[in-house]
Amino acid sequence: MAELLSSLSIESALTQYHNPPHIYIGYSGGIDSHVLLHLCASMAHLKEKITAVYVHHGLQLEADAWAEHCKKTATDLGVDFKVIRVDAIAGQGESPEEVARNARYTALRTLIETDDVLLVAQHREDQLETVLLQLFRGSGLSGLSAMPAFMNFGKGVLLRPLLDTPKIAVEDYAKLHTLSWIEDPSNQSNNFNRNFLRNAIVPLLKQRWPACDKTVARSAGHCAEAQLLLSEQTKKLFLPIFNVLDETLSISKLIAYSLTQQRLVIREWFQMLNLKMPSQAFIERIQSDVISARPDSDPLLSGKGYCIRRYRDKLYCLKVGEAEKIVASIWPKMQTSFSFSAGQALYFMPSSAGICYDKWQKSTVVVKARSGGEKISLPGRKGHHDLKQLFQEAGIAPWERAGIPLIYLDDKLAVVGNLWISADFYSEKEQRCISFFLRKEAS
C-alpha cells in the first residue's frame, strides 16, 4: 500500500548523518529513482541541498531524450540537476551490466565531497535479485550479503533508503502521485541476467513464496553479520603476515595457517590491494602453484591485470603492464631530481656522507639501465662486486632489478639507485656531500 512509503524512510536513513552539506540522488528517470527523488524533493529542509544526477552511459539512442526528461522533472521539482557522461561500452569477455555499473559508480564517486550523501533507489526486490545472482555465481558470505543499506563512498556515504521497501509500495506511490517515468526498453530483454531473473524467475518464485523478497533480504542480513565477524577474525590473521612497505605476504607465516585460513587471508589481501576478488579456483592455484612451489623456483600465475609471484619468503601480487624502460640520459646540471622512467624519479639531498657535491657538479652525470655484468666497489669491502650478487644479498626480487637506475660519473659507475655508492666516489669528509633516494611519481 502507498502509505507504507513516505518521507519517514528518508528521514530514518539520514538520521545519523546530521546536516550533510549536499545530497546527490542517482536519477535514471525510471520509476524507482523518480519515486526517491519525488520523496526527497517533498521535504522542504532538504530541497536546497539536492542535486539529481543522470549518468549518460551512451548505450541507448534515446539517452539524450531521457536526459532532457530528467532535467525537466528535476526543474519541475525545484532541485538542481547534473548530467555525467561515461564510457560504458563493454569489451570482449566483459559483462555489459558490470561495466555500466562500474562506470556509473566511478562517475558518481567523483562528485562526493566530505560528508556528502549519495542516495540510490534500490528496493527489496532488487536485493532479492542481487542475492540470487550472487548465489548462482557461487559467491561466499560477502556476495550473499548483497547490497548494504549504507557504505562509505568517496569522501562521504552512499545510502539506500528504500532497500527494505517492497516494489509494490514504490509502484503504489508513483501511481498515487501520478508520476511520469521512463521505461527503458532494454529492461524487457532477458539476455541480461538481472532482467531474466526479474521478468521470468522472480514472478514464479513469488507465486509460490509471496514474501520471498522479505525473507531472502533477511538472509542477506544474516550473511552480512556473519561476514562482519569473519572479517574481524581474518584481519587478525592478515596483519601479522602483511608487509606494509612492499604489500607482500610472508610465505613462512602463511603456510603455518590452515588451507581455509590461507584462502581467507588471500581474499583479504586482494581487497586491501583494491583488486577484483579472485575465484575459488584461482586462489587454490595460488596455494598449489605458487605458495607450495620450491623456495628456489620462480613460479608465475597470471590473473586479470595482475600476476602472483614468490621470491624467497615473500608472496607478491604485481600489476601487469609493459615494463617502464630506463633510457640513457644526462642528468642536467643544478637539477636536484631526475625522472628516469614514466613512474619513478631519482632525487639527491645534502648529506654528511655520500658523493662530494663539487665532484658531482664537475662531472658529466648519466643515468642508465643495467645491461648485465656491472661491478662496483663498496666502502668497507674489498674488491669489486657483481651487481647480481649484491641484489641477491639485498633480497631484491629479479623482476625489480631492471627498474633500478645506475648513475655514471664521467663514464664510471658511481651509484646504484638508492642502494649503493661506489667506494671510488664515496666521501665522509666535512665537505658538502649528497645522497640519493627514489620516489614513485603520481601517474
CA distance 338 to 319: 24
Together in a domain, 370 and 413? yes
CA distance 317 to 148: 29
pTM of the model: 0.75
Together in a domain, 40 and 144? yes
CA distance 431 to 433: 6
Together in a domain, 37 and 157? yes
pLDDT for the residue numbered 2? 41
For residue 234, being part of any structural domain is answered with no
For residue 388, being part of any structural domain is answered with yes
CA distance 351 to 336: 13
Q: Could you tell me the CATH number of the domain that includes residue 274?
A: 1.20.59.20
Domain boundary among 201, 217, 233: 217
Domain boundary among 267, 292, 319: 319
pLDDT along the chain (443 residues), means of 10: 72 86 96 96 92 89 91 96 87 76 91 95 96 92 92 94 94 94 88 92 96 96 95 96 94 97 96 90 96 90 92 91 76 88 84 91 92 91 93 90 92 94 87 86 54
Domain boundary among 301, 319, 337: 319
Closest residue by Cα to residue 123 from 86, 82, 168, 92: 168
pLDDT for the residue numbered 1? 42
Together in a domain, 158 and 293? no
CA atoms within 13 A on the CB side of 285: 13
Together in a domain, 26 and 154? yes
DSSP codes of every residue in 1-52: -GGG-SHHHHHHHHTTS-S-S-EEEE--SSHHHHHHHHHHHT-HHHHTTEEE
Together in a domain, 156 and 61? yes
Cβ(4)–Cβ(162) below 8 Å: no
Cβ(119)–Cβ(36) below 8 Å: yes
For residue 44, being part of any structural domain is answered with yes
For residue 159, being part of any structural domain is answered with yes
Together in a domain, 266 and 309? yes
Cβ(397)–Cβ(407) below 8 Å: no
For residue 108, being part of any structural domain is answered with yes
Hey, what's the cell of 137? 555465481
For residue 232, being part of any structural domain is answered with no
Cβ(355)–Cβ(438) below 8 Å: no
For residue 24, being part of any structural domain is answered with yes
Provide the residue range defining the domain that includes 53.
Answer: 2-217
Q: Could you tell me the CATH number of the domain that includes residue 18?
A: 3.40.50.620
pLDDT for the residue numbered 443? 47
Together in a domain, 131 and 273? no
CA distance 115 to 19: 9
Together in a domain, 148 and 289? no
pLDDT for the residue numbered 441? 61
Together in a domain, 133 and 171? yes
Together in a domain, 301 and 409? no
pLDDT for the residue numbered 30? 95
For residue 395, being part of any structural domain is answered with yes
What domain count does the chain have? 3
Together in a domain, 276 and 146? no
